[in-house]
Amino acid sequence: MILVTGATGNTGMEVVRQVTARGGRVRALVRSPEKAVTVTGGGGIETAAGDLAHPETLARALAGIEKVFLLSTGDPRQVELQGNLVVAAKKSGVKHIVKMSALGAALNSPSALARWHAQTENQIEKSGMAFTHLRPHFFMQNVLMFAPTIAKDGSMYAPMRDGRIGLVDTRDIAAVAAVALTGPGHEGKAYDITGPEALSFADLAAKVGAATGRSVKYVDVPPAAAKQAMLGMGMKEWMADNMIAIYGGFAEGHAAAVTDIVPRVTGRPGRTFDQFVKEYAHAFKAA
C-alpha cells in the first residue's frame, strides 16, 4: 500500500493515476471529504484524512503503508510540515519514501525552496528508511502562467536573458515516481529529471507561436520588475523571492544540462515542449 501526499494537486493526482495503472494500491492523504472527491472522482481510490500541520492525524493514515510519495504545496514551514510526515512514517514502519524535491536542492542554494528540500532529503536519509529523491526541472505546465500576456499582446515576460533550461512535463515526473514506487532498484537514488532538450525562453515563445499560429515574443525584464508582476498576480512575497532566485540561476546558465532519467527509468522518451504546447495551444489563445 502506497500513501500519496499532495494527491489533490496536478502532479499528485497524476502520480495516483499512474501508480494505479501499474497495479499499485494507493491511499491518498486528504484534508477534507471535498478534497477526497477531487482525487477519487467519487470512488476507486482509498483516501485518509490527515494534515501535515497536525502530526496527530498522520498515524491512522499511515497504518499498513509500506511506501510514501511525499509532496506538499509551497509553504515557509515546508521543512517542519514534511518533517512531521517523515517522523510519523518512521514510527509507522514505512520502508521507503519517494520525495518530490527540486533540481539543485542543496543546503547552500541561493533559493530557500532548494535549501528546504535539501533539509528534508537529509532528514529522510538519516531516518534509516529507504529513499528516492526526485529532483525535477522547471515544469512545462509552468509556462501556462504566461498565457494571459501571450493571449493579450503576444509576449512572455521574464528575467531569463538567454538562459536555457531542460523543462519537463509533470506527467513524466509522475511516471518516474510511479516506477520508483512500484518496482525495485530505485532505493538510495537521487534523480535529476529534465525534458529531452534545453530551451531558452525565446525558444519557448517561438514554439508557442508556431503552435498557435501567431507571433509570440519573449521580452526580458529586470528581476525587480518581474517580482512586482508576480506580486501583482497575487503571488506571496516569499514565493516571488524564491522564483526570482531560481530565474537568476537559470539566466546564468546553471540549469541547462539535460538528463536521460525519464527514458532510462520509464522506458519511453520524455515529452518534448513541441508536444506539450501543441496539446495546450488553446490555453494561449485569446478567448
Q: What is the pLDDT of residue 41?
A: 58
Share of the chain above pLDDT 70, in %: 95
pTM equals: 0.95
Give the domain extent around 154. Answer: 143-164+196-259+266-284
98/125 same-domain check: yes
For the chain, give the mean pLDDT: 95
What is the rounded CA–CA span in Å between residue 6 and residue 169?
17
Q: What is the pLDDT of residue 31?
A: 86
Q: Which residue from 12, 187, 51 is spatially nearest to 4, judged by alpha carbons?
A: 12
pLDDT tens digits, 90-116: 999 999 999 999 999 999 998 999 999
Please tell me the chain's helix, strand, coil percentages from 3-state DSSP, rounded to the nearest 5: 50, 15, 35
Q: Is residue 22 part of a domain?
A: yes
Q: Which of 31-40, 77-86, 125-134, 214-223 has the lowest mean pLDDT?
A: 31-40
Q: What is the CATH number of the domain that holds 55?
A: 3.40.50.720
Mean pLDDT confidence for 260-278 = 98
Q: Is residue 184 part of a domain?
A: no
Q: Domains in the chain: how many in total? A: 2
Q: Is residue 191 part of a domain?
A: no
pLDDT band at 32 (very low <50, low <70, confident <90, very high): confident
Residue pair 85/70 in contact by the 8 Å Cβ criterion? yes
The C-alpha cell that represents 33 in the structure block: 471529504
The DSSP letter of residue 286 is -
The DSSP letter of residue 267 is S
Residues sharing a CB contact under 8 Å with residue 210, sequence separation 6 or more, in sequence order? none
Model confidence at 42: pLDDT above 80: no
- Residue 81 backbone phi and psi in degrees, to 5: -65, -50
Residue 76: burial class (beta carbons within 10 Å; 0-12, 13-18, 19+): middle
130/204 same-domain check: no
Residue 96 pairs with which residues in a beta bridge? Answer: 67, 130
Residue pair 6/38 in contact by the 8 Å Cβ criterion? no
Model confidence at 38: pLDDT above 70: no
Coil, strand or helix at 69? strand
Q: Is residue 31 part of a domain?
A: yes
132/150 same-domain check: no
Apex 55 CA angle, 52 and 56, nearest 5: 135
Q: How distant, in Å, are the alpha carbons of 111, 171, 172 from that of 134? A: 17, 13, 11
45/125 same-domain check: yes
